[in-house]
Amino acid sequence: MSRFALVTAQPEFDERIRLAAAGLPGSLQAFRADYLPSTLDEMLAQLVGEPLEVLVLGPDLSSSDVMNFAAAVDVRSPHVSVMYAAHASPDLALAAMRSGVRDLVTPDADVETLRVHLEQAATAASFRLMNASTGASSVAAPGSGQGRGRVITVMSPKGGVGKTTIATNIAVGLAKIAPMSVVILDLDLQFGDVASGLMMKPDHSIVDAVRGPMDALSLKTYLVPHPTKLYALCAPLNPADADQISAEQVGDLVGRLASEFQYVVIDTSPGLGEHVLAALDQATDVVWVCGMDLPSIRGLRSGLEILSELDMLPEHRHVVVNMADRKSGITVQDIEASISVPIDVILPRSKALPLATNRGIPALQDNLRDSTVKGLRRLVERFQPTWQDGDRRQMHRRVVFQ
């Protein structure tokens, strides 16, 4: 069967999809219809060629029919990426997420934009198919990296260093690479700010998620969609509810999210509490954030030493110095000498970043032009499969402090 399948009766949309798919490996099979078949088997029986990876549903199809058909695809062939051409709204995005639609694209998108969406959808489909073949229905062993997404834990021994700002920007940046395949988890259970950092008003929180069954459908009902095509599982609305969440539940939750999403970004509370350690136990990456002050640097050194003794350092480490300033009296070399590991990314002190945070619009979402934003983009690049560990030593040499 075809790698790409299209259902639409709109000639213009049909033509743009054909042109977009023409630049990608695999064939496209189109069905000129403004309705969907009664069953998935009816469609599969008519497909020829390579295994189906991406199903594109045109803007002329009924949204209710699309949601029902996508739910059937999600049950029968969960690796297939269903892409729907429609003008997104919060209600539609939530319905799409719950039914199994993997991507929403505007009906008037140009050919290049559609090509990017098709390529991302095909990549995500291959990832999910790999998960299925390696037994991802159960949580993989911690740190194995097999049959699960990349778990990125953002942490700091001290508060007030911009950890949540960095975590939300990582999630937004990754969502541009893998739309609808990124979830951010707020694990600062008492005073988490991911919801405000993304300008969200969630109806559910992590408390609901750990209380209920952790199957894919149930988890999706607790996630909040964001306009940048990522999802969020927010901290409890009442700080007292944090006592109801155990470290074991956190570990199970992170493992389940990793089996459903390509990227799981975790914003943690300061320090090395039991919930943070549970997240680290599942992490493939840790982003250490520190400021250019002695308490933060000493805390980072102690944290690295403790986790090294516990053998809990994830495979990939990324050290970020935030709010860097030449006038602080401390240099990058001083920090590296103190913590005995290289600095990977330096984010200069910026007026634009706090403003973006206060507005609830992450800097990478707003495409701000700022040296700090460039640093955030470099940080996001580190989580792409093409990134090489050998590049990390020299990254800070190109940063100019402001």
Q: Matching CATH topology for 4-133 and 150-398?
A: yes
pLDDT score of 400 = 34
Domain residue spans of the chain? 4-133, 150-398
User: What is the residue-averaged pLDDT of the chain?
Assistant: 84
d(CA 117, CA 402): 37
On the question of pLDDT at 179 being above 80, the answer is no
pLDDT score of 39 = 83
Per-residue confidence at 194, pLDDT binned at 50, 70, 90? very high
Share of the chain above pLDDT 70, in %: 90
Per-residue pLDDT of 101-155, as tens digits, reads 988 999 999 999 999 889 888 888 887 777 666 554 333 333 334 457 899 999 9
d(CA 266, CA 167): 7
CA–CA distance from 200 to each of 64, 101, 235, 341, 400 (Å)? 26, 21, 12, 37, 34
CATH number for 150-398 (one of 3.40.50.300, 3.40.50.740, 3.40.50.720, 1.10.10.10): it is 3.40.50.300
128 versus 250: which is more confidently predicted? 250
- 4-133 has CATH 3.40.50.2300 classification: yes
Name the residue among 78, 82, 101, 58 with its Cα closest to residue 231: 101
- Number of other residues whose CB lies within 10 A of the CB of residue 134: 13
- What's the whole-model pTM score? 0.69
pLDDT score of 143 = 36
On the question of pLDDT at 272 being above 50, the answer is yes
Average pLDDT over residues 68-88: 90
130 versus 30: which is more confidently predicted? 30
pLDDT score of 387 = 56
pLDDT score of 16 = 94
